[in-house]
């Protein structure tokens, strides 16, 4: 009899997160998959059209049974975000009381808020089944970064919650080695082995496309435009590039997010609107074709130590598309780019160093940029192969005992 996986995640299709592909892949591998999620509202902050309290609360998507519990949409301000963060576990508490779903194991895909995991842990405890957690955002670190508040009055209660969630998990994965180290700080000494590294992968549609001929040198960014991305460095670098007399560099921004308007204001302040083009939010399947119109892909972070521990999902996507990478980053992202020999990296917040790297990449012979792209693809295939990573995950999910294998 095929195992029944209950995925608990506040976000699911049509919201664009990698858990979508993981769920669909598990169906292909013979699992029965049920998802408990919220009403889709990310990243715009309002409930998607065709969804609502009395609309599409239950649906089947690519063989995955999806149940949507109520939540308060994120909105555009901090109050809406706070209410959103608390509403999913609140309504999830009542869902847990009345649900008739009988699953063999729970899989939680955590991106903020961490307290969404209370729903999955409570279900696993109630039904005495294994509970797995994949951590995308570190708490309390992420809360401290967003709020700027480091008071024990805020941090200590969050730490207690995180410890309790981790305690209730059979196994926990982090998206980078540094994430694993941070997670283990909140795990009991005799349970350290239940935390391991499992990197994100790029879906199969992320693949190299034939390059589209264009004028000039095009730097392309894809993904969420949020506070964490620190994209305001890009207009500053663009102004420096112009002052250096380089006139053919352009920037394409693909995506949307809560910080879009403030990012546009930074472009206005720098006086470089003629160098930027916004493509808006597109389907993930359209991204490889857009990357083919670029000469280099861009990654950046806000200036916070938390992001030195992060390997962003877009890094694997860029690498799978054989893109040379220009990054304003440090730590794990810098390490991967250096190991792969697939791009240039400058320190977070250093606009001049970023500008010089963009100019240097522009000045490279095309054959060397293509080699960087090939290096990226080769590294991705070796370290971030979807098949290998999902095969490894099967050693836990398919195991009669709930999985005992460890990943070093």
Looking at the domain 4-199+385-397, which fold is it?
Answer: Rossmann fold (3.40.50)
Separation of alpha carbons 279 and 210, rounded Å: 20
pLDDT-based confidence at 203, cuts 50/70/90?
A: very high
150-196 pLDDT, tens digit per residue, is: 999 999 999 999 999 999 999 999 999 999 999 999 999 999 999 99
Question: Does the pLDDT value for residue 267 go beyond 50?
Answer: yes
Q: Answer yes or no: are the C-beta atoms of 124 and 168 closer than 8 Å.
A: yes
- Residue 139: name the closest of 164, 119, 120, 121 by CA: 164
Strand-pair category, 64-69 with 58-61: antiparallel
Whether 101 shows a pLDDT value over 90: the answer reads yes
Q: Please enumerate in sequence order all residues whose Cβ is within 8 A of that of 297, keeping only pairs 6 or more positions apart, or say none.
A: 219, 220, 221, 222, 291, 314, 318, 321, 323, 324, 325, 326
pLDDT recorded at residue 148:
85
Angle 362-293-274 from CA coordinates, rounded to 5°: 70
Contact 389, 198 (CB under 8 A): yes
Predicted confidence band at 43 (pLDDT cuts at 50, 70, 90)? Answer: confident
Question: pLDDT tens digit string along 105-162?
Answer: 999 999 999 999 999 999 999 999 999 999 999 999 999 988 888 999 999 999 999 9
pLDDT of the residue at 1: 58
Q: Is the pLDDT of residue 248 over 90?
A: yes
Which of these, 398, 402, 325, 314, lies nearest to 361 by C-alpha position? 325
Whole-angstrom distance, CA of residue 106 vs CA of residue 87: 20
Residue of 206 and 149 predicted with greater confidence: 206
pLDDT at 87 exceeding the cut of 60: yes
Q: What percent of the chain has pLDDT over 90?
A: 88
pLDDT band at 404 (very low <50, low <70, confident <90, very high): very low
Instruction: Say how far apart CA 105 and CA 123 lie, in whole Å.
Output: 9
Structural domain boundaries of the chain? 4-199+385-397, 217-383
Looking at domain 217-383, its CATH superfamily turns out to be Glycogen Phosphorylase B; (3.40.50.2000)
Can 4-199+385-397 and 217-383 be said to share one CATH topology? yes
Q: State the Cα–Cα distance between residues 350 and 354, nearest whole angstrom.
A: 6
Contact indicator for 257, 228 with CB cutoff of 8 Å: no
Asked if the bond preceding 43 is cis, omega within 30° of 0, the reply is yes
Give the tens place of pLDDT for each residue, 278-320.
999 999 999 999 999 999 999 999 988 899 999 999 999 999 9
Other CB atoms closer than 10 Å to residue 285's CB: what's the count? 10
pLDDT in tens, 228-246: 899 999 999 999 999 999 9
Angle in degrees, CA 151, 182, 108, rounded to 5: 100
Contact present, 304 and 328 (Cβ < 8 Å): no
pLDDT > 50? residue 408: no
pLDDT in the model for residue 401: 60
Computed over every residue of the chain, the mean pLDDT equals 94
Other C-beta atoms lying within 10 Å of the C-beta of residue 262: 12
CB neighbourhood size of 355 (10 A): 24
For 60, the 3-state DSSP assignment is strand
Q: pLDDT tens digits for 372-382?
A: 999 999 999 99
Give the orientation angle of helix 313-320 with respect to helix 332-340, to 10 degrees: 20
């Amino acid at each position: 009899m095929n195992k029944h996986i209950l995925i608990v995640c506040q976000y699911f299709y049509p919201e664009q997160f990698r858990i979508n592909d993981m769920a669909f892949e598990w169906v292909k591998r013979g699992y029965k998959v049920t998802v408990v999620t919220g009403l889709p509202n990310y990243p715009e902050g309002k409930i998607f059209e065709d969804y609502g309290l009395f609309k599409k609360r239950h649906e089947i998507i690519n063989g995955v049974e999806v149940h949507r519990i109520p939540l308060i949409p994120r909105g555009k301000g901090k109050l809406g975000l706070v209410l959103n963060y608390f509403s999913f576990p609140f309504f999830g508490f009542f869902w847990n009381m009345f649900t008739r779903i009988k699953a063999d194991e729970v899989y939680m895909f955590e991106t903020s808020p961490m307290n969404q995991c209370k729903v999955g842990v409570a279900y696993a405890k109630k039904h005495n089944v294994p509970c797995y957690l994949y951590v995308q955002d570190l708490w309390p670190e992420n809360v401290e970064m967003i709020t700027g508040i480091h008071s024990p009055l805020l941090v200590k209660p969050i730490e207690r919650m995180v410890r309790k969630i981790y305690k209730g998990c059979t196994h926990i994965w982090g998206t980078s080695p540094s994430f694993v180290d941070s997670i283990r700080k909140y795990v009991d000494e005799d349970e350290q082995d239940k935390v391991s590294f499992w990197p994100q992968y790029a879906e199969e549609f992320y693949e190299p496309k034939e390059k589209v001929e264009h004028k000039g040198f095009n730097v392309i960014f894809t993904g969420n435009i949020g506070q964490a991305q620190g994209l305001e460095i890009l207009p500053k670098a663009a102004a420096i590039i112009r002052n250096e007399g380089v006139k053919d560099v352009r920037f394409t921004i693909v995506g949307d997010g809560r910080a879009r308007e403030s990012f546009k204001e930074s472009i206005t302040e720098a006086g470089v609107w003629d160098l930027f083009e916004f493509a808006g939010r597109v389907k993930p399947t359209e991204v490889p074709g857009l990357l083919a119109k670029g000469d280099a892909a861009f990654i950046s972070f806000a200036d916070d130590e938390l992001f030195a521990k992060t390997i962003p999902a877009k890094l694997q996507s860029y690498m799978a598309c054989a893109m040379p990478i220009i990054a304003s980053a440090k730590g794990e992202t810098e390490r991967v780019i250096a190991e792969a020999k697939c791009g240039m990296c400058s320190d977070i917040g250093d606009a001049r160093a970023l500008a010089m790297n963009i100019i240097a990449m522009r000045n490279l012979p095309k054959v060397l940029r293509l080699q960087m792209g090939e290096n990226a693809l080769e590294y991705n295939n070796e370290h971030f192969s979807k098949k290998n990573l999902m095969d490894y995950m099967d050693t836990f999910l398919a195991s009669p005992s709930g999985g005992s294998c460890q990943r070093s």
